[in-house]
Structure 1
Amino acid sequence: MANMQYRHLGRTGLKVSTLSFGAWVTFHNQVDIRDAKQLLAKAREGGINFFDNAEVYASGRAEEIMGQAIKELGWKRSDVVISTKLFWGGPGPNDKGLSRKHIIEGTKASLKRLEMDYVDLLFCHRPDVSTPIEETVRAMNYVIDNGWAFYWGTSEWSAQQITEAWEVARRLGMIGPIVEQPEYNLLARDKVEVEYLPLYNSYGLGLTTWSPLASGVLTGKYSQKNVPADSRFALDNYKNLANRFVVDDILKKVDNLKPIADELKVPLSQLAIAWCASNPNVSTVITGATRESQLVENLKALDVIPKLTPDILDRIEAVVQTKPKQPDVYR
């Protein structure tokens, strides 16, 4: 297997593994502490140094499991990059959103669950239209100034919202969001390839992308609307995702990608992950796994990245036809 490569997170000095590991869905919902330890150990063994979490994952339990597993594994804190995300912290009126109150209380609560003094990255999990962006920028800087996080970023914000946060930060002499965490895969490309395009140069924005396999659709396992009983789409709270991706047109495209993967002698899942990582604006691709074998398979996508020649990328494009229209450029 290829050795892990490390990339700068946007224009920062922080280096993250090209492939990373996220706790969404799996921790607590499908994985307990013993399994989590095995998965995390396997990920580290494969060179992964970035681990992603959120206060909302399994209502905080995902952070507890990850924190306990890391503690029991005895990892050196400086060897890993840990992120968490704030927005949905609980049922109370001030337990959600990006107010100064929730950002500060939410950060402290996350750190307690993770049993850590700090996270490397803290994300605003969604935009909060009811809180002024200046309040959020000031609160995130307060968190950084107190050493509870080293960098801050956004997840699923619009380019306009990120720009506004940066303009506020510059006006106040503060730190802006240096990373965005958008969905990115062969079926979801607009934000990464068009909307954020001006931000990579203007602000040095890095990306930690999620759902490289479109929630499993790009593994090819959902052919002809077959939903395996042990898969994510079989979980009740993920039915809406299933309805979004498991449609004939998409499944047909997925089937037509298989010959390209076969030609490269790799599983479709590895081709799909490698395709995400081949975008130079992507700092790291967050992968998930419930079993060690899945994790090992995902890591092999590293070997596929060099095989994605311009010709192969064109052939993939001819099948999926999802390339977003680029904005007109007037000279």
Structure 2
Amino acid sequence: MNYRKLGKSGLWVSEIALGNWITHGAQVDDTTAQACVHAALDCGITTFDTADVYSETRAESVLGVSLKGIRREGIELCTKVFHPTGSGYNDKGLSRKHIVEACHASLQRLQTDYIDVYYAHRFDATTPLEETFLALSDLVRQGKVLYVGVGEWTAEQIKLGAALAKELKVPFIASQPQYSMLWRVIEAEVMPACEREGIGQVVWSPLAQGILSGKYAPDKPLPEGSRASTTAGSPFFERLAGQWLRKEVLQAVERIRPIAEKCGLTLPQLSIAWVLQNQQVSSAIIGASKPEQVKENVKAAGVSLDPEVMGQINHILNNVVELDPSKTG
């Protein structure tokens, strides 16, 4: 495993982080989830990513149990706030009330005294930004949060947040957007904005919801037990993975497989390594439903891809890549 600084901060994170969106507390049993976490630790992963909303708060609880007994100073534990975790009007968003209450609940579920990076999971247009950052500032002062990040914020939102963070002396160091060979909407505006502010990227879905795993072949049924088959029909899935289940996309992905083989990599390893070639990316989040997936995908850490390889990939995917910055968030 290799490690990188998160933005221009002093915090080191593992190049590959383990996330538990969709899987832990939902698709896999707790014993398997714990085995995935322990496999990650054995492979040198120190950065773990979750959110209060994942699996209706169960994902945080599973991660807390899985990390019990692990030296706290040796890991970076990250979670998020924004989405509803209850039925009340104040059980969502980035109000002071929700942020403070959600943070305390996350700490309890994670069985820890502090969160390394606390993300504003989405932008809240209904709450004054000053209120949000003042609440985060207080949590930092109290030692319950060490650093602050945002998820899927636009370049302008990041700029406004960074100005407030400087005024309030809040260590705003991370952005967590979707990023992969296929989804590159952050390259035009978000990445330049973050670079100016010293904010690093911790990217999610480097395998484009599993499309870059190579499991899905053109004109063939969805593989039994795959993410596409188990989550098909949900609006969220249709908006994410559903957009890639087109013949021209799957054909282009198949053409990348020989490139991966020439590099001595699997298609998933090449896809993760591609993301990590961008030096603004501090860490790429992988998911896993079994320990073997963790052990295989961490082999993407430290891989250096030749410019010729990067050029071949860009040429093949040219007509199917999403670049529109307006689709951020």
Would the aligned equivalents of 1:151 and 1:177 in 2 still touch at CA under 8 Å? yes
Q: Deviation of residue 323 (structure 1)?
A: 8.0
Q: How many pairs does the alignment contain?
A: 317
Could you say what secondary structure the match of 2:149 adopts? strand
Equivalent of residue 201 in structure 1, options 163, 187, 195: 195
* Matched-pair identity in %: 39
Whether 1:156 and 2:155 are equivalent positions in the alignment is: no
Distance 2:148 2:176 in 1: 11
**TM-score, length of structure 2 as denominator length:** 0.92
Structural RMSD (CA): 1.6
Could you say what secondary structure the match of 1:223 adopts? coil
**TM-score, length of structure 1 as denominator length:** 0.92
Distance 1:51 1:325 in 2: 29
Q: Which residue of structure 1 aligns with residue 134 of structure 2? A: 138
The one-letter code of the counterpart of 1:254 is: V
Would the aligned equivalents of 1:165 and 1:176 in 2 still touch at CA under 8 Å? no
Q: Which residue of structure 2 aligns with residue 299 of structure 1? A: 298
Moved more, 196-205 or 5-14: 196-205
Q: Deviation of residue 176 (structure 1)?
A: 5.2
Would the aligned equivalents of 2:14 and 2:283 in 1 still touch at CA under 8 Å? yes
The one-letter code of the counterpart of 2:245 is: V
Whether 1:178 and 2:177 are equivalent positions in the alignment is: no
Q: Which residue of structure 2 aligns with residue 45 of structure 1? A: 42
Q: Deviations over 1:224-280 (max 9, x none)?
A: 253222111222435413321111121111011112112223211110000001110
Q: Which residue of structure 2 aligns with residue 329 of structure 1? A: none
Distance 2:262 2:62 in 1: 40
Q: Which residue of structure 2 aligns with residue 234 of structure 1? A: 229
For structure 1, the residue ranges without an aligned partner over 5 or more in a row are 327-331
Could you say what secondary structure the match of 2:192 adopts? helix
For structure 2, the residue ranges without an aligned partner over 5 or more in a row are none
Equivalent of residue 29 in structure 2, options 13, 28, 32: 32
Distance 1:247 1:131, change over 3 A: same
Would the aligned equivalents of 1:208 and 1:286 in 2 still touch at CA under 8 Å? yes
Q: Deviation of residue 91 (structure 1)?
A: 2.0
Q: Deviations over 1:269-301 (max 9, x none)?
A: 110000001110000000011111111110111
Would the aligned equivalents of 2:204 and 2:286 in 1 still touch at CA under 8 Å? yes
Would the aligned equivalents of 1:83 and 1:120 in 2 still touch at CA under 8 Å? yes
Would the aligned equivalents of 1:166 and 1:176 in 2 still touch at CA under 8 Å? no
Q: Which residue of structure 1 aligns with residue 289 of structure 2? A: 290
Distance 1:275 1:120 in 2: 26
Distance 2:192 2:293 in 1: 35
Q: Deviation of residue 206 (structure 1)?
A: 0.6
Could you say what secondary structure the match of 2:279 adopts? coil
Q: Which residue of structure 2 aligns with residue 67 of structure 1? A: 64
The one-letter code of the counterpart of 1:188 is: W
Q: Deviation of residue 201 (structure 1)?
A: 3.4
Whether 1:55 and 2:52 are equivalent positions in the alignment is: yes
Q: Deviations over 1:65-118 (max 9, x none)?
A: 1101111xx100000000000011222110000000000000001111111111
Distance 2:237 2:274 in 1: 26
Distance 1:313 1:176 in 2: 34
The one-letter code of the counterpart of 1:174 is: K
Could you say what secondary structure the match of 2:188 adopts? helix
Could you say what secondary structure the match of 1:39 adopts? helix
Whether 1:9 and 2:3 are equivalent positions in the alignment is: no
Distance 2:95 2:315 in 1: 45
Would the aligned equivalents of 1:273 and 1:301 in 2 still touch at CA under 8 Å? yes
